[in-house]
A and B are shown apart, each in its own frame.
Chain A
């Protein structure tokens, strides 16, 4: 009994230690943001002299801060909705229907996974630039609406549902579109959630593409914005860290609120996909 108690205490100690290591950069970020204007910040701020003014100062110095976060939200939400819709419409016939060329289309979609985005970025940039879509939502959103990963993931999930279900629905007079909307999609909720979370996070995280197609400061996404802010306030560590926390807050809150869904969603996809 005693040994078990000791082992459990040791495990908690290890867990706490690991948590501190993982959280260190975030805690340090918070610590620096509260230390006022200094270029030699301490590891831990003096608790009596916390200086919260950086969080106000950030918005005074950079009027676009909230606009950047809004831009990122619009782009990430549009790409997420688009990818889920486009992938579902492509995965449905691949999983359920019989038609000529089905194998070809399957390899067409899976083949797109083999091409790294970085290998297509130059022609894509040239296209967007000659369409005059720089500094616009369509330039940031349209290139990412279809994803081979999403189609593959949803096809795998649709195929786990029994064929008899489809046949029974057809006999009952259920059309193909209605079957997709009222049977397939509700039953595939975990896979849809996986795709949505994955699409949202990768789009929110994007940096290279927005860096290329944005010139106007108002059109920056949060990621491009925060690095630009850093370059303009290179000597004010507290402002850099406060701005960074402001930009990170939405996704951190989302993580804490939606941790359970995120974990079950991502894991369902990784194991069955």
Chain B
């Protein structure tokens, strides 16, 4: 047990405690030492309590993360469950289809970002029709403030499909066959069997996917760095982790960035607690 304790202390608990400590100080950017106590000043700035000259940048970026999660999470899970239902029956050659649906698990977010940056490139005409339909002033979905976040979300949904598909398929295969047989005797087939048997039996799998996808979309950074590499048009893709990166890496404001890290921890904790409570309300009413 000793190695696990040592490594977790060294790279998880102590750094987390240090992040909390640093969040109350202005930090010297050369020595990395806490230089001057500022108290709750950074938290006030992040949560916009003092209406600082920074405007509502940080609070808005937290909301952008939430918006991004709302675009990504339901769509990814719905698409993955849909594919799993489609590939569920053991037809000849179904293995090949299952491999294809799993394939994005082998593609890193960075590689996916590089591919999609070409797909979204103005000289590739794939989205030309959509751009004209929406009358965007911008040449690419990524450069208009209305479509940039959904475009990054689309990339993220595609990347997450493989993992979510595998888990959803496993959840479906774990449902005992005889449940469907007794449902059929009661006259429930097709859609009714789906709502009466599949949906409730899939509950734990869906909760697992919900929590995992929420965490990963809230912590998303790579796709924003590769596809946009800035806070985006009109700050529309400035998700919270990206604005932490800006405060930390670009502005070397270690104290402020630490305060934001603590806020990120609390926000995720709150979201996950909410999901478990919702799950309990749905399943034990």
Q: Which residues of A contact B (CB under 8 A)?
A: 8, 11-12, 14-15, 18-19, 22-23, 25-26, 28-29, 32, 39-41, 43, 86-87, 89-90, 93-94, 105, 108-109, 112, 114-124, 126-127, 129-130, 142-146, 148, 151, 201, 204-205, 207-208, 211-212, 222-224, 226-227, 230, 237, 240-241, 244, 247-248, 251-252, 254-256, 259, 262-263, 266-267, 270-271
Q: Whole-angstrom distance between the alpha carbons of A112 and B268 in the complex?
A: 14
The residue on B at minimum CB distance from A38 is B123
The residue on B at minimum CB distance from A25 is B115
- In the assembled complex, 12 residue pairs joining A and B whose CB atoms fall closer than 8 Å, in A order, are A15-B97, A22-B103, A86-B3, A116-B215, A121-B248, A124-B11, A142-B11, A251-B107, A259-B102, A262-B102, A267-B166, A270-B208
Q: With A87-B4, A114-B269, A227-B110 in contact, is A25–B119 under 8 Å at CB? A: yes
Q: Whole-angstrom distance between the alpha carbons of A26 and B102 in the complex?
A: 13
The residue on A at minimum CB distance from B209 is A270
Q: Whole-angstrom distance between the alpha carbons of A14 and B15 in the complex?
A: 50
Contact indicator B118/A32 (Cβ below 8 Å): yes
A-B contact count (CB 8 A): 232
Residues of chain B from 121 to 150 with CB closer than 8 A to chain A in the complex = 121, 123-124, 126
Chain A: minimal CB distance from B65 (Å): 11
Contact indicator B86/A116 (Cβ below 8 Å): no
Partner of B86, one of A18, A29, A41, A94: A18
Known pairs A123-B19, A124-B15, A144-B11; list 14 more (Cβ under 8 Å): A19-B100, A23-B100, A23-B103, A25-B119, A26-B107, A29-B115, A41-B124, A109-B8, A117-B219, A201-B105, A207-B110, A248-B107, A251-B106, A263-B166
Contacts of A15 in B (CB 8 A): 86-87, 94, 97
Contact indicator A223/B110 (Cβ below 8 Å): yes
Chain A: minimal CB distance from B251 (Å): 12
Q: Which of B44-52, B180-188, B193-201, B220-228 contacts A (4 or more CB under 8 A)?
A: B220-228
B282 within 8 A of partner (CB)? no
The 7 closest A-B pairs by CB, nearest first: A267-B170, A146-B7, A90-B4, A123-B15, A120-B15, A223-B110, A255-B106
The residue on B at minimum CB distance from A198 is B163
Contacts of B66 in A (CB 8 A): none
Q: With A25-B116, A118-B221, A270-B167 in contact, is A146–B254 under 8 Å at CB? A: no
Contacts of A43 in B (CB 8 A): 126
Chain B: minimal CB distance from A111 (Å): 8
Contact indicator B111/A248 (Cβ below 8 Å): yes
Interface size class of B (residues with CB under 8 A): 35 or more
Q: Is the interface of A mostly helix, strand, loop or mixed?
A: helix
Contacts of B16 in A (CB 8 A): 115, 119-120, 123
Chain A: minimal CB distance from B63 (Å): 18
The residue on B at minimum CB distance from A93 is B1
The residue on B at minimum CB distance from A19 is B100
Q: Whole-angstrom distance between the alpha carbons of A131 and B126 in the complex?
A: 48
B24 within 8 A of partner (CB)? no
Contacts of B109 in A (CB 8 A): 205, 207, 223
Contacts of B15 in A (CB 8 A): 120, 122-124, 127
Contact indicator B4/A89 (Cβ below 8 Å): yes
Chain A: minimal CB distance from B69 (Å): 14
Q: With A118-B219, A227-B226, A266-B167 in contact, is A248–B174 under 8 Å at CB? A: no
Contacts of A145 in B (CB 8 A): 3, 7
Contact indicator B99/A240 (Cβ below 8 Å): no
